[in-house]
A and B are shown apart, each in its own frame.
Chain A
Amino acid sequence: MTSISDATSGTAAAEEAEEAEPVWRSRGTDRRSTRTIRVYTSATLIVATVLAVLLVPPAVQLDQQAIDLSAKLLPPSWEHPFGTDDVGRDLLLRCVHGLRVSLLVGVAAALAATVIGTAVGACAGALGGWVDRGVMRLVDTFSSVPHLLLGIFIIAMFRPGVWPVVISVALTHWLSTARIVRAEILSLRSRPYIDAAVSGGASRWRVTVRHLLPGVLPQAALAAVLMIPHAMWHESALSFLGLGLPTHTASLGTLVQSARGSLLAGQWWPTLFPGLFIIVPTLAIAGLAGAWRERLNPRRRSELML
């Protein structure tokens, strides 16, 4: 008997030792520390982006539109760190101005999409029944059309400008938020505290606004932040196709678009730097939002890997 129990406890001890192996632990801590590094890097990059966008244009009293044909297509140098474009405009300044427009469009479109999505999702989830079925079929129908295509249709109805781009991106991107909010509200709706509110005489409106919406706010806010990079890409894509902003307005999309020709002639800087300006801030925002999402819902981490 003793030998058996000894043996089992021995195995258990061995298992424990195996579990406490430094390899396993180091992998755990490694993963955690990469996450911390990712969060700090992302946060630093976002702060740098926002500062650059807010401070550089007023601080540098140069005209980003100033044309100097004697200085066209200069490679990066001390005077022009990012070089100049095909009409001699300083690319660093153009990039910062472009980033400003792209960020504005991204944030505005993401906010608008989240507001629409939350309102629609909350209506569907809170009212249920045929309203829910009807609204969600509408969402399915919209989702079945590629959203860039739908965005092009919407934008074609307006003159080129910043707000048509915002409207186009917002009207095509509220669908996923609506789905998230509806699902979350459906799960909250069956909680006993909603029963208690109903029994306490609360109207449908009050139950939704006071008890259901505050519960989905973290998810909706996260969806909004994750939407910002997506909206920035869409702005760039639309502008690159010549449908978004007018070419003379610097946005990251229009910069890449107008530099396309010189890339073939071997001038790499007019495409590379605006390209980097698209990639770096969007990755930083996505990185930070990803970490936030993991914090919000650690259980589903494996499912949430991008």
Chain B
Amino acid sequence: MLELHAITAGYDRRAPVVREVSLTVEPGEAVGLLGPSGCGKSTLARVAALLHRPDSGTLVLDGEPVRGWRHQAPRALRTAIGVVFQQPRLSSDPRLRLADLIAEPLRATGRREEAAGRVAELAAPLGLTPDLLRRRPHEVSDGQLQRACLARALALRPRWLICDEVTAMLDASTTAALVEAIEHYRSTTGAGLLAVGHDHTLLRRWCDRTVHWDALTSSDGHTTAALDVPASRSAR
């Protein structure tokens, strides 16, 4: 279970982007989170991926409350969640070849000897040829890079996947290939998925359940207010 309870988070304590949001993802379930641009769903995804410390609220992962974020989170917890970001260009180190990019989590966790085999295993179904794997991020297209980023997220066989607008910059066929790869991984491992996006059609067809951002508000309805008026005004 990935449980977010009454999460308030943002980049300025006086004007949080996410207010009192709660969301639960069951094991093996695919949840689509829909919301307009700028509503804070990416921030929520970062909190769920242990990459951003919330101002308040709790995150319970597989029954255990999370106490630290980023480097303060235990490595086993961090690597239990695979993250794919919206912009592959920004989320890949420009100096690493795609093969190294995909192998990086394995090397970082001291499983260097598995790297070559795992990269080949991940790359083939995603259509990443050995030629592509030798290139650096600026030498491949957005779609190819996003597939490499997905392979990197799957390298450590995470139990949870968080996809933040992964298909926003891609064409229909790449989107289909990416979704198919994620679904294939989920069907073999039973991993849960939190997919964030604004594409209703895609998320409705992809996920078991979709939630609209507005529906996540707690009883006092703060989040709805935050959607309509500038954060600073609603903070007063």
Contact = CB atoms under 8 A, between A and B. Distances in A.
A201 B87 contact: no
B78 A196 contact: no
Nearest to A204: B71
B71 A203 contact: yes
Interface stretch (A53-61, A146-154, A187-195): A187-195
B108 A195 contact: no
Nearest to B74: A201
A192 B95 contact: no
Contacts of A200: 78-79, 104-105, 108-109, 152, 155-156
A81 interface: no
Contacts of B152: 196, 200
B108 A193 contact: no
Given A192-B87, A193-B91, A199 B109 contact: no
Contacts of A210: 93, 104, 108
Contact of B49 (A199, A206, A211, A214): A199
Main secondary structure of the interface of A (DSSP, over half): helix
B93 A193 contact: yes
Contacts, number: 68
A67 interface: no
A7 interface: no
Interface string B51-81: 1000000000000000000110001001101
Contact of A192 (B75, B85, B153, B156): B85
B172 interface: no
Interface residues of A, number: 18
A202 interface: yes
Contacts of B79: 199-201
Nearest to A192: B91
A281 to B, nearest CB: 33
A191 to B, nearest CB: 6
A198 B51 contact: yes
A206 B51 contact: no
A195 B82 CA distance: 11
A45 interface: no
Interface string B83-94: 101010011110
Given A192-B87, A195-B85, 8 more contacts: A196-B85, A198-B78, A199-B79, A199-B153, A200-B105, A201-B105, A210-B104, A214-B95
Interface of A: 191-193, 195-204, 206, 210-211, 214-215
